[in-house]
Structure 1
Amino acid sequence: MKNTVPESQCLILIVDDEPFIRAQLRLSLQCEGYRTAEAEDGRQALAIFQELQPDIVLLDAIMPDLDGFECCTRLQLLEDGKYTPVLMITGLEDQESVDRAFEVGAIDYVTKPIHWPVLRQRVKRLIQQFHLQQKLEAANRELQRLVTIDELTQVANRRRFEEYCAQEWQRMARDQLPLSLILCDVDFFKAYNDTYGHRAGDRCLQLVAKAIESCVNRPADVVARYGGEEFAVILPRTYPDGAIHLANAICTAVRELQITHLTSQANTCVTISAGVATEIPVPNSDFQEIINAADRALYQAKMTGRDGCQQYIKQSSSPVYFLNAHHRLA
Structure 2
Amino acid sequence: MKADAQESQSLVLIVDDEPFIRLILRHFLEREGYQIAEAQNGIEAIKVFKQLHPDIVLLDALMPDMDGFECCTQLELLDRNKHTPILMITGLNDEESVDRAFEVGAMDYITKPVHWRVLRQRVKRLIEQSQLQQKLEAVNVELQLLATIDGLTQVANRRRFEEYFKQEWQRMKRDKCPLSLILCDVDFFKLYNDTYGHRVGDRCLQEIAKVLKDIIKRPGDLVARYGGEEFAVILPNTDTEGATHVANNICHAVRTLAIPHKNSQVSPHVTISAGFTTEIPEPDSDLEEMIYAADRALYQAKAAGRDRFVQNILLPRSINSR
TM-score, length basis structure 2: 0.92
Counterpart AA for 1:183: L
1:84 aligns with 2:104: no
Cα distance, 1:271 vs structure 2: 0.8
1:29-178 to 2 correspondences below 5 Å: 29-80=29-80, 82-178=82-178
Q: State the Cα distance separating 1:132 from its structure 2 match.
A: 1.2
DSSP-derived class of the 1:209 partner: helix
Identical counterparts, % of pairs:
68
- Equivalent position amino acid for 1:291 in 2: I
Structure 1: state its 5+ residue gaps: 321-330
In structure 1, how many angstroms separate the alpha carbons of the residues matched to 2:92 and 2:273?
73
> Given the superposition, is the C-alpha separation of residues 89 and 158 from structure 1 closer, same or farther in structure 2, using an over 3 Å criterion?
same
Give the deviation of 1:81 after TM superposition.
5.5
For the Cα contact (< 8 Å) 1:75–1:82, is it kept in 2? no
Pairing 1:10–2:30 present: no
Unmatched 5+ stretches in structure 2: none
Deviation at 1:18, TM superposition (A): 1.7
User: For residues 133 and 284 of structure 1, what CA distance do their matches in structure 2 show?
Assistant: 45
The residue number in structure 1 matching 2:219 is: 219
The whole-number CA distance in structure 2 between the counterparts of 1:172 and 1:79 is 34
- Counterpart residue identity of residue 228, structure 1: G
2:223 partner SS = strand
Which digits, 9 at most, give the CA deviation of each residue in 1:236-284, with x for residues without a partner?
A: 2222212221111111111111111111112111111111222221247
Change (3 A) 1:86 1:317: closer
Deviations 1:124-167 (A, max 9, x none): 11111111111111111111111111111111110011111111
Q: CA 1:199–1:130 in structure 2 vs 1: closer, same or farther (change >3 Å)?
A: same
Give the corresponding residue for 2:23.
Answer: 23
* Match in the other structure for 2:265: 265
Give the secondary structure class of the aligned counterpart of 1:294.
Answer: helix
Cα offset, 1:303, TM superposition: 1.7
Separation in structure 2 between the aligned mates of residue 284 and residue 54 of structure 1, nearest angstrom? 54
Alignment-derived partner of residue 255 in structure 2: 255
For 1:246 and 1:79, locate their aligned partners in 2 and report how far apart those are by CA, in whole Å.
Answer: 41
Q: CA RMSD in A?
A: 1.9
1:313 counterpart SS class: coil
Contact 1:7–1:128 under 8 Å retained in 2: no
How many residues get paired?
316
For the residues of structure 1 that align with 2:20 and 2:40, how far apart are their CA atoms?
11
How far off is 1:48 after superposition? 2.1
Q: Which residue of 1 aligns with 2:184?
A: 184
- 1:22 aligned partner, one-letter code: R
Residue of structure 2 in register with 1:307 after alignment:
307
- 2:176 touches 2:280 (CA, 8 Å); kept in 1? yes
SS of residue in 2 equivalent to 1:65: coil
Q: What is the alpha-carbon distance in structure 1 between the residues aligned to residue 81 and residue 178 of structure 2?
A: 37
TM-score, length basis structure 1? 0.90
Distance 1:140 1:58, change over 3 A: same
Give the ranges of 4+ consecutive aligned residues of structure 1 lying more than 6 Å apart after TM superposition. Answer: none
Alignment-derived partner of residue 326 in structure 1 = none
